[in-house]
Amino acid sequence: MQHRTKRAIRRFERTWRPLWISSAGIALLLSIGLFAAEMLRPLVTGQLLISEAQAASKTIPAEISVCFTPEEECEDLIVGHIERANREILVMAYTFTAKPIMDALLRAQARGVTIEVIMDAKAAEQRYSMALPLQMARIPLWLDSSVAIMHNKILILDRQTVITGSYNLSKAAASKNAENVVTMNGGAAIAQPFIDNFGRRKAAAERVIARQGKQ
């Protein structure tokens, strides 16, 4: 009787164990898949997360627009945003040789807008660089040599709007290169991480003493 019971148990194990293992594996895979889908859902739906701590409960509402060169007039877009700024413009530029953008900054300065600019130290030595005109206009300028390349291309306007992308502030970017400009209007929630990064780069950079120019 005991031997028959053991044989019955072994037959049961041989019959059902593969199915049990298969079911457990399927259940595990389903659990992993559901977890991954939940983690990726904000990215799939295009939601911009504020931080990991807030990811489960809060997203940033933002208006996002894009511009592509050489087909579109992205320089005019940037100049237009500078013209509408009322309080502050923060600029991080790798290459800055575009006179129309420089002229727009000068007009903003004339109407009382606070302007600060950070440039890559090596790129600031390029021919046609706006580093010297910025100094002559007494627009506060910092040169960043603390990293291999200060490759940011960012404008922060009134702490509300951020313009970024691959686009350098140059004539070549406007008319010859294939570049992109991304504009994000989302208020302080969008702008603050960029402002924080501006502060870190500014702290790492060297302030340029203004040359004698117009007051």
- Give me the active site residues, please: 151, 153, 158
CB 105 within 8 A of CB 89: yes
Angle between helices 74-84 and 99-110 (to 10 degrees): 10
For residue 37, what are its two tokens?
Answer: 């889908």
Separation CA 185–CA 61 (nearest Å) = 9
Choose among 102, 93, 98: nearest CA to 153: 93
Q: Which residues, in sequence order, are bridge partners of residue 207?
A: 142
Separation CA 114–CA 116 (nearest Å) = 7
SS3 sequence of 80-97 = HHHHHCCCEEEEEECCEC
